[in-house]
Amino acid sequence: MKNIKDTLMDPSGFVVLGEYIPGIVQEIRYYCTYNFIGERIDGYEEPCALLTIEAARALKAVSSELFVRGYRLKVFDAYRPACAVKQFVLWGLEDQDIRMKPYFYPELEKQELFIKGYIAGKSSHSRGSAVDVTLFDMKTGKEVDMGSPFDLFSPVSHPDCKEVTQEQYENRMVLRSAMVRGGFEPINCEWWHFMLKDEPYPDTYYEFPVSASYLKK
């Protein structure tokens, strides 16, 4: 029988998204330094997206629907180890490190990111069925204009923000509607974040690394 530590390090219910959904675009921001902290995040050992099998299956159906409409899905983040979330929290306590403020939270102080719900002390991503996505237009070869970039912590990133153009709002709704039809739930402060409604591990916050190699051991 597995103890709790073994369970948290067990990736057997997960898949590598790039292998499960051919053609999906990935830009794993927490593997690189261009993110709101400004350095690679703990636990991101490879630039790949991992998800529970159930969430990946649902996302594949969404991807197929959008493909017919001329879009691919682009993923910024999926499964996020608990150690990464811990790094976020510790960063939030460090008043001096605001090097990425102009790019990701220009209107807010660091502590407000937690108070306003942009960053959580415990993340649904660590349960393995949350994903941060946008649309990639196959005709132009570019991301669709959503009115704000990924991880801009600002009211303009709220899905129902009235400050974006009509076209930008409609783009958000194309993504949102497809994800909701696929069984995902949105949140009210980030147009890119979706969580599988019937997630398989609602009470488990995994700690294994973001690594395709780890899954295949």
Which residues are marked as active site? 190
For residues 183 and 196, what is the distance between their CA atoms, to the nearest angstrom? 6
For residues 61 and 171, what is the distance between their CA atoms, to the nearest angstrom? 19
Measure CA 144 to chain center.
17
For residues 98 and 24, what is the distance between their CA atoms, to the nearest angstrom? 33
Instruction: Return the amino acid letter for 83.
Output: C
**Nearby residues of 10 by Cβ (< 8 Å), 6 or more positions away:** 2, 206, 208
Greatest extent of the chain over all pairs of C-alpha atoms, in Å: 55
- 166-181 helix and 53-68 helix, angle to the nearest 10 degrees: 130
Residue 43 in tokens: 């636990």
Beta bridge partners of 137: 71, 142
For residues 33 and 104, what is the distance between their CA atoms, to the nearest angstrom? 13
Instruction: Return the amino acid letter for 64.
Output: S
